[in-house]
A = this chain, B = another copy of it.
Amino acid sequence: MTRKQKREGPTDVRVVILAGGSGTRFWPLGRDRKPKQFIPISGRRTMIEDTVARIRPLVPLNRIWTVADSLRTRALRKVLPQIPKDNFLVEPTARNTGPALMMATARAWLENPAAVVVALPADHLIRDRKRFQRKLKAAVKVASREKALVTFGIPPTYPATGYGYIRFSRAGAVSAGGEAFYPALSFKEKPSLGIADRYLAQGDSFWNSGMFVWEAEAFAREIETHAPEIAPGWGKMVRALERGGRSGLVAAFRNLPALSIDYALMEKAGKVLVCEGDFGWSDVGAWSSLLEIWPRDSHGNVTRGRLLPLESRNCLVHNPGKLTALVGVRDLLIVDTEDALLVCSVDRDQRVKEVVETLRKTNRKKYL
């Protein structure tokens, strides 16, 4: 009876924003103290602010949580002063998304086992906010009704080797709110180009978006049954959260392996449904992705700052407050900051993280 009543009322939702990322691909704008989620890279607001604004119409502020380490959490509290202090969950140790989402879900479960947890990365771009909100509502409904782990899959537009893939079956789909949810068949790690080509041709795979929706109780059962590597942590976390204080959580994290939720649970779980995330998603993975996001001039140049281009095309310039003159160049990413300048070929921006690694190895901390 209790369960039935809950089903009929509005579902009790917790949005958990995974905000611990420390990406180095937006160096020199992104730094250790200010990774991508804290940069206004896709619009006027920081990406974490955009992420909160995007789900704000769906849940009250006191149901929006973040998960990050203590350093990031301090920064988050400054950027998100409207969120209650208790909602900033701190990871005692970096253990990837598996243990982090287990902690958040355990807390939701303690408040209400029928609560639905929505896990969202803090640093993704979604252009069609309305469609996203509609699909997310449907996903909450399906997670609650079907006791499935629900995820969004991004329809691939090219044979990406930088994303994981979710293979799915069109047969056995369920629907809610007019949206289809397909049974996920398998989660694939980042593939080779040949395999990515095949996935694209077959049309039965999505990119793994890292967005998840599940009922707390259903998550607990899936963990117990299918996630042996992290399952021992569940009970410990529940008890630690019940008891309060830090020591129980510290101990629970210390003994857990660092595993992504994809690896620790999703690819092993009994019931996973995937919904097409066709809402203009981008993970804004590196500087070149902004060439697709910021408005271009007639020669394909995009800029933050004043640009004076001569015979130049397809360049991205981030240099607000300064004038940048380009003469006879193309396919460049140019990012100027107070103490460091990056000039990078568009097709080499994956190597920007090597710049950061080199700076770290050579102990040039002021640039990190």
Contact = CB atoms under 8 A, between A and B. Distances in A.
Interface of A: 27-28, 308, 310-311, 315, 319, 322-329, 332, 334, 336, 339-345, 347-349, 351-352, 354-355, 358-359, 364, 367
A348 B328 contact: yes
B343 A325 contact: yes
Contact of A328 (B27, B341, B347, B359): B347
A325 B29 CA distance: 13
A332 B315 CA distance: 14
Given A325-B352, A332-B343, 11 more contacts: A308-B359, A310-B355, A311-B351, A319-B341, A323-B340, A323-B341, A325-B343, A326-B344, A327-B352, A327-B354, A334-B341
B334 A343 contact: yes
A343 B340 contact: no
Contacts of A351: 310-311, 327-328
Contacts of A359: 308
Contacts of A344: 325-329
A329 B332 contact: yes
A179 to B, nearest CB: 41
B341 A327 contact: no
Nearest to A341: B324
18 contacts: A310-B354, A310-B355, A311-B348, A311-B351, A323-B339, A323-B341, A323-B367, A325-B340, A325-B352, A327-B351, A327-B352, A327-B354, A328-B344, A328-B345, A328-B347, A329-B343, A336-B341, A343-B343
Contacts of A334: 341, 343
Nearest to A354: B310
Q: Nearest 9 A-B pairs (CB), nearest first?
A: A328-B348, A328-B345, A327-B344, A323-B340, A325-B355, A324-B341, A325-B342, A327-B348, A327-B351
Q: Report copies per complex.
A: 2
Contact of A323 (B319, B324, B364): B364
A263 to B, nearest CB: 30
Given A327-B344, A347-B328, A339 B322 contact: yes
Contacts of A348: 310-311, 327-328
A88 B204 CA distance: 81
A334 B344 CA distance: 12
Contacts of A315: 343
A341 B340 CA distance: 12
A307 to B, nearest CB: 10
Contacts of A310: 348, 351, 354-355, 358
A310 B343 CA distance: 10
Given A354-B310, A355-B310, A322 B349 contact: no
B343 A308 contact: no
Contacts of A343: 315, 324-327, 329, 332, 334, 343
A303 to B, nearest CB: 11
Contacts of A325: 27-28, 340-344, 352, 355
A163 B79 CA distance: 59
Nearest to A359: B308
Contacts of A311: 348, 351
A367 B329 CA distance: 21
Please indicate which of the listed interface residues A28, A311, A322 has the most CB atoms of chain B within 10 Å of its own CB: A322
Contacts of A347: 328
Contacts of A358: 308, 310
Contacts of A308: 355, 358-359
